[in-house]
Structure 1
C-alpha cells in the first residue's frame, strides 16, 4: 500500500506549519490516577474513519510530546492513536525526591497503568481492532502486558524492544552491582539513587549520539527537551535497574506464552539494547516475525528517512494485513 510519511527535508517548517497545528486541532490530552495515586498523562487522536486503534507504549525517558511526528503520520494514514506517559517520566507524576531519577518500583506498575489506560480511556473510544505499538522499554512493558492479558490486543509491534540491555553483564555480576547500589542507597537513607555512572539529564551533541542518523530529528528532540524541561529525565536508578532485570528475565523465561500476532523490528546497529538476547526472545515468541533493519540505530521512529520509511511502511503493512 502507498503510505504517506513526513520527510527530513524542511521538517522544522513542517512542524511549524502542519504538525503543531494538527496537535492543537486534533489531539486531546488528559490524565488518570494510577496505582499509589500517581498521575498518568495521556494523549489521543481519532480520524474520521479509522482503520484500527493503536496504543503506543513508549521508551524510557520519553513523553508523548516526542511522538508528535509519528502520531501525525499514523493519523494521516487512518489510524486512531492513544499514548500514555509512563509513571515516573514525561508529563506523568514522579515517585521519588528527585524528578530526574529514572525510577519504578516494579514493571508490573507500568503494566497496571497500561491496562487501566486501555480499559478506561481507550476502549470506550475504540474503533476497529485494538493494536499495540511499543518502543524500547515500552516493548518490555508491552510483552508483560500480553503475558497478563493475552487477548487484549489483536496485533503487536515491537520496535527495538528492551528484552535485554547493554552492557550485557552475566547475571551474577549484574545482581552483585545492583545489590551494592541498593546497599549504598540504604546507607544514605534514600528511597532511590542513580546507578553507578548514571547522572542527571545531559544533552549530548549529535556527534556523540547513538540513537539516530537523522541530524534534523535529533535536533528537534533536543529542542523539545530544552523547551519542556518537565519532561527531562536523568539516568536509571539502581531500583529501576533491579526492576528491569526482573522484568527481562520474566519475559525471556515466558516468551513462549506471548501469543499475540507480533512483528519485532530489530535495529541492527543498536547500542542501547542487547540485540542477541532480544532476538532469542523474539524467536521464542509463539506468533512473532523477526525483521532486522540494517544500519539502524535504536530510534527507528526518529531515524533518517531511508530507515524510518522502511520501518513505518513495514509496520503499517503488518497492522493492516488480514
Structure 2
C-alpha cells in the first residue's frame, strides 16, 4: 500500500500507510499523518462516495496546521481498498452497515493503538452519514464530529439514476450488482467541470482529476443498484422524527447552500432536532465544502475551529 503523490498534489510529510483486514475479510488502506509539535489530538477523516485518501491531502495539511494528527481510510470499494465487484469502476455495497465494520476496524486497529487522543471525526457526504449511523448505534469513538454535507436526504436531481422503488425492485429480482439505470462509466471526478455539482473551484476540481489520471485504479463511477437501495433505506431511517432525537454524540452539521446532490433542507431539519448538536449553511457552496473556493472554505474552517476544542481561530 502506498500514497499516490504528484507535483500538483504532493503527499504531506510524516505519512504512515498500511493495510488492515476487517472481521469479514476485506482489506482496507489506511494512512496516518504524524502530529506536529504540541499535538492536540487526532482528527479522523472519512471521505464521501467515490473518494480516496489522496483527494484530501490539502485537508490533511489544514488539520496539521491546526495542531492535529490525522488518520484516514479508503472505505471498502473505494480508493486502493479492496473492491466489492469485478468491475472496479462500480461503486458497490450490500448494505451501509458494512461501512460501520470499516469504521470500527479502523478505530480499533489504527486509531486507538497508534494515534494521540483526544479523537475527533470529520466526515464528508457518505462518510458523514456513516459517522451518524455509528453514533446512532451507541458508539462514542469521538469527542466531537464535524459532518460536511451528510447524506440525509436527496435533492430532486436524479442522483443515482433510480428512485427508491425502482432500486428496491431491481435488487429484489437479483440485479443489485448492475450499475444504476443511466449511470455513467466515467470516474466521478473526471466529468467536465462546467455545471459539476461538487465544487465551483476549477483548480481543486482539476487536481482531483489529475490524481485519477496518474492512478486510474483510484476511480469509481456510478453506484450499483444495491448501493443505491442501501443508501435510500439508510436515509429513510434517518428522516424519521425519533432518529436525531436519540443521538447523544456532539456533532456539527455543515451544509452547502448551493448543494444540488444532498438536501440542505433535510440537513437543517435534522440539525434542529439534535439534542447535542447544531448545524450551519455555507451560502453558495456546493457539495464538496472542503474542495470549494477559498472564501467558502474559510467559512467551513471557521465553523470547525469554533466547534472543535483547542483549535485556533484562523483569519
TM-score, structure 2 length as denominator?
0.89
2:237 counterpart residue number = 250
> What is the CA distance between 1:125 and its match in structure 2?
2.1
The question of whether the paired residues in 2 share the 8 Å contact of 1:38 and 1:93 is answered with yes
> What is the CA distance between 1:35 and its match in structure 2?
4.2
* 1:261 paired residue among 241, 250, 254: 250
Q: CA RMSD in A?
A: 2.0
Structure 1 stretches (4+) deviating beyond 6 angstroms? none
The gaps in structure 1 that reach 5 residues or longer are 1-14
> What is the CA distance between 1:287 and its match in structure 2?
1.0
The question of whether the paired residues in 2 share the 8 Å contact of 1:43 and 1:83 is answered with yes
* 2:181 paired residue among 185, 188, 196: 196
Q: Residue 162 in 1 paired to residue 157 in 2?
A: no
Partner Cα distance (1:233, 1:95) in 2: 12
1:120 counterpart residue number = 109
1:168–1:248 distance in 2 versus 1, CA, 3 Å: farther
2:205 counterpart residue number = 218
Q: For 2:123, what is the secondary structure of its paired residue?
A: strand
2:165 counterpart residue number = 176
The question of whether the paired residues in 2 share the 8 Å contact of 1:178 and 1:242 is answered with yes
> What is the CA distance between 1:310 and its match in structure 2?
1.4
1:43 counterpart residue number = 31
> What is the CA distance between 1:197 and its match in structure 2?
1.2
> What is the CA distance between 1:213 and its match in structure 2?
1.3
Partner Cα distance (1:284, 1:219) in 2: 38
1:29 counterpart residue number = 17
* 1:54 paired residue among 27, 30, 43: 43
1:10 counterpart residue number = none
> What is the CA distance between 1:201 and its match in structure 2?
2.0
1:11-66 C-alpha deviation (Å, 9 max, x unpaired): xxxx849x62x53x311111111243111111111223321211111100000111
The structure that is helix-richer by fraction is 1
1:7 counterpart residue number = none
The question of whether the paired residues in 2 share the 8 Å contact of 1:140 and 1:251 is answered with no
The question of whether the paired residues in 2 share the 8 Å contact of 1:150 and 1:258 is answered with no
2:307 counterpart residue number = 318
The question of whether the paired residues in 1 share the 8 Å contact of 2:253 and 2:267 is answered with no
2:3 counterpart residue number = none
Partner Cα distance (1:278, 1:174) in 2: 20
The question of whether the paired residues in 1 share the 8 Å contact of 2:176 and 2:224 is answered with no
* 2:217 paired residue among 226, 230, 238: 230
* 1:271 paired residue among 238, 257, 260: 260
The question of whether the paired residues in 2 share the 8 Å contact of 1:130 and 1:152 is answered with yes
Partner Cα distance (2:69, 2:301) in 1: 16
Say how many residue pairs are matched: 298
The question of whether the paired residues in 2 share the 8 Å contact of 1:192 and 1:238 is answered with yes
Partner Cα distance (1:302, 1:111) in 2: 25
The question of whether the paired residues in 2 share the 8 Å contact of 1:181 and 1:195 is answered with no
The gaps in structure 2 that reach 5 residues or longer are 1-5
TM-score, structure 1 length as denominator?
0.87
The question of whether the paired residues in 2 share the 8 Å contact of 1:35 and 1:113 is answered with no
